[in-house]
Amino acid sequence: MLLAIDVGNTNISLGIMDGDTLIGRYRLMTKTTRTSDEYGFFLVNFLTQSKVVPEEISDIIISSVVPKLMYSLTSAIIKYLKKEPLIIDHRMDTGIKVITEAKSAVGADRIVNTSWAWNTYHSSAIIVDFGTATTFDYVNNAGEFRYTVIMPGLETALHALTSQTAKLPEIEIVKPASVLGTNTIEGMQAGAVYGYIGSCEYIIRKMKEELNDPACTVIATGGLGRVIARETDTIDSYDPDIAYKGMKMIYDRLKEKKDENI
């Protein structure tokens, strides 16, 4: 079994892959102040809850955009799971080519997403990842990751709104029945959700126009991706598990090449 760990700015997501099947998932808040023993406690308890013993985990792979916590996390893995984790970066052979002005600045999560899309569809795609930031990453028909758009995530934008205003409350992110709000909360929900849908649709259409690639596939992922994806026809599909599937795909590719060189 493979333990896939996706370290994001808001959450750390853990998934157990048995072959190509995700058999368990767990999420905890990202905190850079945790010790290796705290992470070890979480890891062992996650495996226990999933009815998996540490010895059944053959390897661990990590996609991280939070460098500050990696020492404690990797130390926990080595101490409690007795494995040296594989950490994804732009230098790895993931099946795609990262062709940007600053390759080292491209987050591992985006490499995972675009690698999964290319190795799944073998054609151009835009992967929209709804997280702390929302990213629109484009991989072309040649498997080259060249272009991206980044905007504040929906929760991030709402937090900025409520924290900078005296009378606007925190709200649940749901789509109201109408864009015409009849009270403050409905008005905020309408502005947040309908506004975000409109922003996403414009960016996707503009990307396709400038790329001259109207037929490219658009896939959404990330926690709030489901809310937006079901409300627009500019997104072709939603898959919440791309991070785990992408890490498994990269792991299999690297393992195959390693075995070939033995």
Please say whether the beta carbons of 231 and 197 come within 8 A: yes
Check 6, 20, 59, 109 and give the catalytic one.
Answer: 109
Residue carrying structure tokens 């926990």 = 76
3-state secondary structure of 150: strand
Burial (CB count within 10 angstroms: exposed 0-12, middle 13-18, buried 19+), residue 177 = exposed
Burial (CB count within 10 angstroms: exposed 0-12, middle 13-18, buried 19+), residue 14 = buried
Please say whether the beta carbons of 247 and 187 come within 8 A: no
How far apart CA 128 and CA 118 sit, in angstroms, is 14
| Sign of the dihedral defined by the CA atoms of residues 138, 114, 241, 68, in that order | negative
Assess whether 37 carries a catalytic annotation.
no
Report which residue type is found at 167: K
Size of the chain in residues: 262
Please say whether the beta carbons of 129 and 140 come within 8 A: no
How far apart CA 196 and CA 218 sit, in angstroms, is 16
Give catalytic residue positions.
Answer: 109
